[in-house]
Amino acid sequence: MSTQPFIASTLSEGETILKKRFADLGYLFIKNGVAAEHCQSLLDDVLAELSPHVEWSPDRLLPTLKGEPFYETDPLFDEIYPEIQALESFHQFFHHESVHQLMQITSGENPFVYPMKMARISTPKKLGYETPPHQDAHSHQAPESMCGIWVALHEVTENMGRLMVLPKSHKRGIRPVHQAQGVGGVQCEIYDDETLWHTGNVEQGDVILFHACCVHKAEPNRSEDVVRLSVDTRFCPYGEPLFTSNLYPHHGLRIPKLDWNYIYKNWASPAHQFYWKDYPDLHGPDDSQWIALAASK
């Protein structure tokens, strides 16, 4: 396997060039896609929930691990994650005008933001639990018109769990998967001729947009104590088919108290609560079927 730096894009290049690059590569790495202040404000809120397990280092300007490392589904994660999910600023982040504008590059005038929104807490000393190579089309049971958006909440350099993408991999459709350890729990097939990955250091506010079939993964976090914090969600042109698992909070079908009423309990504004209720093309199990499925696991 070899790596090359991400092909960087800027909004000033204009929609035509960006759309063409996205169609060719299957991703856009957009420098300063979201204002650093907007990211810092969300980062402060997330860190307040992670304290005392993760603390901001004012000298290094990085989140640092203070206790034991943990991974999604560990008891400590399950205790903290509902509080991060309950942050109004976390959900509103993706409905901000600047984020909406980024989504318009690939989804046209009226992007629909998926209800499920993810915060990633990649601690060091959990090697093997990093995000395996996957396609979001599989994870979210979505058509190719869906996209992913990933935003760095702080600088992420080598050995801190950077993201990697397999350029042009979106052109080969949805791939077979097998079970894997790590975020999402599945890994997709990588073909023998696919040896060149794109990666690189990112700064606070840098954004990656992924095509639904773009294969991507995370590097292991090999740092001594840095915790990589980022946020991501999915979006599509309004009206495209939406699978009902995406209507739940991330980990909501696994962590008993983590439902929308829990999330909304302290919100100041009703804006963006249950905003998908009239979505025109929902398919998949209904609420009672999802609850039964979750209970049977």
Ligand X SMILES: O=C(O)CCC(=O)C(=O)O
Among 49, 72, 136, 206, binds ligand X (CB under 6 A): 136
Helices 36-50 and 75-85, axial angle in degrees (round to 10): 130
199 binds ligand X (CB under 6 A): no
Query: Least Å distance between CB 224 and ligand X?
Result: 19
Among 150, 197, 235, 248, binds ligand X (CB under 6 A): 150
CA atoms within 13 A on the CB side of 75: 1
Query: Least Å distance between CB 23 and ligand X?
Result: 19
Rounded Cα distance between 17 and 260, Å, is 39
Among 9, 85, 131, 135, binds ligand X (CB under 6 A): 131
49 binds ligand X (CB under 6 A): no
CA distances from 114 to 61, 248, 282, 286 (A): 31, 10, 12, 17
Report the residue number, 38 or 120, with the smaller CB distance to ligand X: 120
Query: Least Å distance between CB 112 and ligand X?
Result: 17
CA atoms within 13 A on the CB side of 230: 25
Helices 97-107 and 15-25, axial angle in degrees (round to 10): 60
- For ligand X (CB under 6 A), the number of binding residues is 11
Rounded Cα distance between 9 and 2, Å, is 22
Among 120, 140, 162, 170, binds ligand X (CB under 6 A): 120
183 binds ligand X (CB under 6 A): yes
Query: Least Å distance between CB 127 and ligand X?
Result: 14
Contacts of 287 (CB under 8 A, 6+ apart): none
216 binds ligand X (CB under 6 A): yes
Do the Cβ atoms of 201 and 164 come closer than 8 Å?
Answer: no
Among 33, 69, 132, 148, binds ligand X (CB under 6 A): 148
Judged by DSSP in three states, 174 sits in coil
> Mask 73-112, x = binds ligand X (CB under 6 A)?
----------------------------------------
Q: Which residues bind ligand X (CB under 6 A)?
A: 120, 122, 131, 136, 148, 150, 183, 216, 218, 230, 232
